[in-house]
Chains A and B, each alone.
Chain A
Amino acid sequence: MLKSYRQMARRCFFIGMGAALSCLAVVGLSTPASAGFPDKPVTLVIGWGPGGGMDSFARTINKHIKKYLGVKFKIIYKKGGGGKVAHNLLVKKYKPDGYTIAVANVPHQTIPTQLSEKGYRLKDIQWISNMVLLPSTIMVKKVAPFKSFADLIKAAKAAPGKLKAGTPGATSGSAAFHYNWTKKAGANITLIPYRGGAKMLKGMLGNEVEVMSSNANWGVRYPDKLITVAVAGEKRYELLPNSPTLRELGIDYVDFLTRTFTASAKVPKDRIKVLSDAFGKVTMDTAYIKDMKKVGLVPSFMDSAATTAYVNSYVKNNQSVFALMREKQKKKK
């Protein structure tokens, strides 16, 4: 009896160790590069938690990428600061051989570099390609007294600063969007930052805020709860055909969140081209397009040069907002 107990105990431990080691194997480590890029899985760093919007995008493309790149991605998470942690690691820690790339969101990867002297600079990273342009939107609740953009502006002007708008983070792309559109529309709506989109939605449904300034995905996902009163796209969003653009409403302003791939600036250009070409091809894949629509995204490809130009114009057009955010940080310090 005693002996069998000891054996059982030992077996228990081996099972536990085996499980722990296999966890380690799943995570893995990368080794130096060789010719014929890529000849092993490319590590894709996600700067957000598992299960979020960035993750579902990464996993969707990972389902289809092998056909065009020859290898699959190995996904790892480096959560924090809306992708800031992941990008600091990308330029400071990981080998710039093209085998480690990151998922980025243009506003989120741009804003921190404009607010602080610390961390990575825009010149430290290069934009491989842009995969999705997701327009920013203004949403109200279905049960709210205002059901159109005009009504909302009227209510905001009647009580300046009393209406509240939720955004997922104080220095997020959505916050920048909020400052911009309210200024252009001449409406004073107070920004209420939440830590993440899920909490923002809870605040909205629980009547803590009346407006949401955030990406189009929310309106697509919750048509029974939210009305998207305006879309900041060039044209109407495919998945929200009844919502007018800001341009239609007389405000000349477009703003997007993106799903973009980034690498360290030191990665050789020929490798960036291999990756960018593969991403361009996958965007034409009908199965990929179908899967993307399932997660509420419409593919929209831009190559490295076009993406870089887009980022530069984003930085230029938002200087006043960045100045405002810097001012807020100084006051709080």
Chain B
Amino acid sequence: MLGGLAAAFPGFLDVQLLGLIFLGVAIGMTGGALPGISPSITIALMLPIAFSLDPLASLVALGGIYMAAEYGGSISAILINTPGTAAAVCTALDGHPMARQGRAQEALHAAILASSIGGLFGVLVLIGFTPPLAELSLKFKSPEMFWLAIAGLAIVCNLTAANFVKGVMSALIGMFIATIGYDLETGYPRFAYDIPEIEAGISLVPCIIGFFAIPQMLMLAGAKEKTIIEIKPTLGSFKKVSLFMWKRPVLVLRSAIIGTFVGILPGAGASIASFVSYSEAKRFSKEPEKFGTGIPEGVIASECANNSMVGGSLIPLLAFGIPGSASAAVLFGALTLHGLSPGGRLFTEHASVVYGFMVGFIPIVAAMLIVGAFAAPLFAAVLRIRTAYIVPIVMMLALIGTYSFQNSVVDIFIAATTGIFGFFMMKFGFSLPSVVLGIILAPMAEEGFRRSLLLGTIDGSVWLVFFNSPICIILILVVVAMVVSAFTNEAKGRKRLSQLTNGH
């Protein structure tokens, strides 16, 4: 294996490959930043071009898009509180308040540095520990996946809601939206009312745009200020952020480990990675009450985790052919189209391509760091544009993004409806991140729950099946801790989170 890795390195001095890496990174960052164009869609849009290249070149280009798109989501999250990706929902919690304080450039630099370190960490784990970690991912069976989804929801409600009950209500609204579509066990179309476009369910993309971009733009349109915020160009913010992170190795390492681990679990995804990491950062912090008010720790925890997820999500993909995320599923298609079927044989029969692909992520992360660090002041300049220009342009981009996702006009109606609904929910202090996480996690929770019942019936007890493994017990304890701490915090009268609702 070491020989294979060493042999893969010199290949990256090739000009064409380096060019493709930078191109992939630029496309990924743009796609990630645009609300509506998710990382997996960006990769899918570029698939046809990638097939004209040889296997390694195309995989490296697609890998560059994947990595950079997971970072790109933070750009729009920080600047206009409109996450470009589902994971960046978490980045916005602290990133946007920072931008409002005039520290947009610092937040962007924190995001790119954390993303790069996290990305690199995930990739090193991918290179070093694929076989044992892939085995571990198989320990998460149906009951464990159910509890993981519930724990994710409890964490999000605890973190983002001013009032835990409202947070739970928000999550339930999201979960209801996710029940629309075909039933897992019978195939019956639930709540579809004969509309073919929603028979298979409401897609996530129009909901993200509806619940984030539109309410945010409506708020901006109603604001007195002519620009989002007056910023002073901050010199030396990159150095400042680097030092900040250097002094907090535990925060960075913990976030990277959480991100990689969640990435390994198929179906969990980048948003859980970010929220779990954020919640842990808050729990271990000496000043947990400052989270959500605009501190770099929040941005670092979220971004570090969602980029280390990239390497993690490729572990079960390369080892078994089980993609750990939606983007990894598209990469799976790219692999099979080049005649490379994932699994144990991949590492023996196509070693040069696989090791090249894995090692290729190191120059990809470097390219992302270079582009992101230099472009941060440029991105931050967006805040100086008058809201009279920003609102219509973002609205237009959001609608184009919604439509181009699957050429569906119905999706535009969904985005508009959820947008207006989301605006009022925001006004009344409901938590929009909880709604979106409800939509993301409900299918995972439902599938895990119902299959556990089925398996429990066969094995004897429908109750015991949910408490049968140490992983289940740990996850249940997390849920209990989240609920209890939410209520005790409220009882203590710590209402500082209510400030957060201004941003959401």
Contacts and interface: CB of A to CB of B under 8 A. Distances in A.
Contacts of B378: 8-9, 11-12
B323 interface: yes
Nearest to A7: B381
Contact of A202 (B43, B182, B320, B330): B320
Interface in B308-338: 316, 320-323, 329-334, 336-338
Interface stretch (A13-21, A33-41, A229-237): A13-21
Contacts of B377: 8
10 nearest A-B residue pairs (beta carbon): A80-B200, A51-B333, A294-B339, A171-B187, A88-B196, A206-B138, A9-B381, A50-B44, A51-B330, A329-B186
A205 to B, nearest CB: 5
B484 interface: no
Most buried by A among B196, B201, B458: B196
Interface in B1-53: 27, 30-31, 33-34, 37, 40, 43-45, 47-48, 51
A87 B343 CA distance: 33
Given A76-B407, A171-B187, 13 more contacts: A8-B378, A16-B34, A26-B404, A59-B47, A81-B187, A194-B447, A198-B329, A199-B447, A208-B141, A208-B455, A295-B339, A328-B186, A333-B186
A332 interface: yes
Contacts of A280: none
B337 A56 contact: yes
A60 interface: yes
B287 interface: no
A161 interface: yes
A193 B345 contact: no
Contacts of B100: none
A22 to B, nearest CB: 9
A23 interface: yes
B503 interface: no
Interface stretch (B107-115, B123-131, B360-368, B393-401): B393-401
Given A15-B30, A52-B333, A80-B201, A115 B187 contact: yes
Contacts of A328: 185-186
Of A8, A92, A203, which is in contact with the most chain B CB atoms at under 10 Å from its CB?
Answer: A8
Nearest to A54: B333
B51 A198 contact: no
A80 B199 contact: yes
B142 interface: yes
A223 interface: yes
A192 B454 contact: yes
B196 A332 contact: no
A12 B400 contact: no
Nearest to A190: B458
A224 B233 contact: no
Interface residues of B, number: 80
Contacts of A55: 333
A81 B198 CA distance: 10
Contacts of B288: none
Given A56-B336, A81-B189, A190-B458, A202 B138 contact: yes
A178 interface: no
B458 A164 contact: yes
Contact of B199 (A63, A119, A193): A119
B200 A81 contact: yes
B186 A24 contact: no
Contacts of A20: 34, 37, 397, 400-401, 404
A118 B34 CA distance: 37
Contacts of B187: 81, 112, 115, 169-171, 325, 329
Contact of A78 (B201, B266, B332, B406): B406
A19 B200 contact: no
B429 interface: no
B333 A56 contact: yes
Contacts of A119: 196, 199
How many of chain A's residues touch chain B, expressed as a range? 35 or more
Contacts of B337: 56, 59-60, 294-295
A118 B33 CA distance: 39
B329 A51 contact: yes
B226 interface: no
Contacts of A21: 400
B400 A16 contact: no
A91 to B, nearest CB: 9
B321 A23 contact: no
Interface string A65-78: 00000000001111
Contacts of A9: 378, 381-382, 384-385
A202 B401 contact: no
A220 B333 CA distance: 16
A88 B199 contact: yes
A84 interface: yes
A27 B186 contact: no
Contacts of A315: none
27 contacts: A5-B233, A6-B384, A8-B378, A9-B381, A16-B30, A19-B31, A20-B34, A23-B404, A27-B407, A50-B47, A51-B323, A60-B337, A76-B406, A78-B407, A80-B200, A81-B182, A89-B197, A118-B189, A170-B183, A190-B454, A190-B458, A199-B322, A208-B141, A296-B336, A325-B187, A332-B186, A333-B186
A222 B343 contact: yes
A280 B213 CA distance: 48
Nearest to B452: A208
Contact of B183 (A92, A295, A332): A332
B194 A51 contact: no
B196 A17 contact: no
A115 B188 CA distance: 9
A11 B382 CA distance: 10
B393 A85 contact: no
A11 B199 CA distance: 41
B324 to A, nearest CB: 10
B381 A8 contact: yes
Interface string A280-301: 0000000000010011100000
Contacts of B48: 59, 75
A224 B343 contact: yes
B267 interface: yes
A64 interface: no
A96 interface: no
A332 to B, nearest CB: 5
A17 B31 CA distance: 11
B82 interface: no
B200 A84 contact: yes
Interface in A275-333: 291, 294-296, 325, 328-329, 332-333
A221 interface: yes
Contacts of A89: 196-197
